[in-house]
């Protein structure tokens, strides 16, 4: 399955400055990429009523149209999201002093429509094993079809760049990111930047993978990056996004309660061409 990413350009970022002096928006160049490779479970707040012909036209996972389609219905990823952030300093040393999750809304888990791309539990396990966190390089993906218009083209590094995995548990109420253990899938230690700011020298490139998790509520939020350049404190706010847990009493981090949703669509890979099929959420028990 091809990697799919949503690229946020410079006009999708909010910049502000604390302190005195004129803001210099180009002292730190960033490229924010929402990694939508896998998993690709999405929930929508409202039931989606479609005819059989309309269901057949729903974009399948692995295409750039799929996240766009669910986004139009205010859809949210289930359980976790990950953003790959490319950071480069231009003319002066930049010190990244903090990255936080700014929550703008907290509501009950979305339970209108569920898009479940796994025809069986075994298929889901195989899919997740084949798509590790941060597997796609933020400067190398071109599957979205708009790479030439994306700032990610300015972040082609020389040699290997090891990503720094950071995350936040939205249910904890603590907005500051911590180091994220990709083996155990958990956060470690104290807030990361409280102990060690990230220094980026002119021309240097840093690659961050930011992970936000939720198991109790639906959240809409945006990442906020704070940094110091030329002695002044500044900040960048990225585009807003959402994450929601599986709905239903008894839902866990690997499977929601299907009957909690009003509409359910499941991928069928056994047909001649992979496609979505409508299922009765009250009767569907998974593959």
pLDDT of residue 141: 34
Q: 229-267 as b/e, with b when 16 or more CB fall inside 10 Å?
A: beebebbbebeebbbbbbbbeebeeebbbbebbbbbbbb
Q: Are 282 and 260 in contact (CB under 8 A)?
A: no
pLDDT of residue 146: 28
Mark the ranges of the chain whose per-residue pLDDT is less than 50: 1-23, 129-159
pLDDT of residue 204: 81
pLDDT of residue 223: 93
Residue 128 sits at φ, ψ, to 5 deg, of: -70, -35
Residue-wise pLDDT for 244-273, tens only, equals 999 888 777 678 899 999 999 998 888 788
In angstroms, rounded to a whole number, what is the distance separating the alpha carbons of residues 257 and 282?
Answer: 10
Q: Are 286 and 279 in contact (CB under 8 A)?
A: no
pLDDT of residue 37: 59
pLDDT of residue 126: 57
Residue-wise pLDDT for 91-120, tens only, equals 888 889 999 999 999 999 999 999 998 766
Read out DSSP for 33-70? EEE-SS---EEESS-----HHHHTTSPPTTSTHHHHHH
pLDDT of residue 248: 84
pLDDT of residue 156: 38
Q: Are 17 and 160 in contact (CB under 8 A)?
A: no
pLDDT of residue 158: 38
Tell the burial category of 138 from Cβ atoms under 10 Å away from its Cβ (0-12, 13-18, 19+): buried
């Amino acid at each position: 399955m091809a990697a799919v990413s949503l690229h946020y350009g410079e006009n999708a970022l909010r910049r502000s400055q604390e302190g005195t002096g004129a803001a210099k928006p180009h002292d730190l160049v960033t490229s924010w990429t929402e990694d939508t490779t896998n998993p690709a479970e999405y929930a929508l707040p409202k039931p989606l009523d479609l005819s059989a012909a309309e269901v057949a036209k729903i974009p399948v996972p692995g295409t750039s149209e799929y996240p766009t389609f669910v986004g139009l219905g205010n859809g949210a990823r289930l359980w976790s999201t990950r953003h790959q952030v490319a950071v480069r300093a231009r003319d002066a040393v930049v010190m990244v002093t903090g990255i936080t999750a700014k929550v703008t809304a907290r509501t009950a888990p979305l339970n209108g429509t569920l898009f479940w791309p796994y025809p069986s539990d075994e298929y889901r396990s195989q899919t997740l094993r084949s798509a590790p966190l941060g597997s796609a390089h933020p400067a190398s993906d071109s599957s979205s079809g708009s790479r030439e218009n994306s700032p990610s083209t300015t972040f082609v590094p020389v040699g290997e760049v090891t990503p720094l995995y950071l995350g936040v548990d939205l249910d904890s109420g603590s907005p500051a990111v911590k180091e994220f253990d990709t083996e155990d899938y958990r956060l470690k230690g104290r807030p990361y930047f409280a102990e060690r700011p990230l220094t980026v020298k002119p021309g240097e490139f840093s690659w961050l993978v930011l992970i936000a998790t939720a198991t109790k509520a639906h959240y809409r939020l945006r990442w906020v990056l704070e940094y110091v350049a030329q002695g002044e404190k500044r900040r960048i706010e990225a585009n807003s996004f959402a994450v929601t847990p599986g709905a239903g009493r008894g839902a866990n981090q690997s499977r929601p309660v299907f009957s909690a949703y009003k509409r359910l669509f499941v991928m069928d890979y056994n047909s001649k061409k992979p496609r979505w099929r409508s299922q009765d959420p009250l009767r569907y028990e998974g593959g």
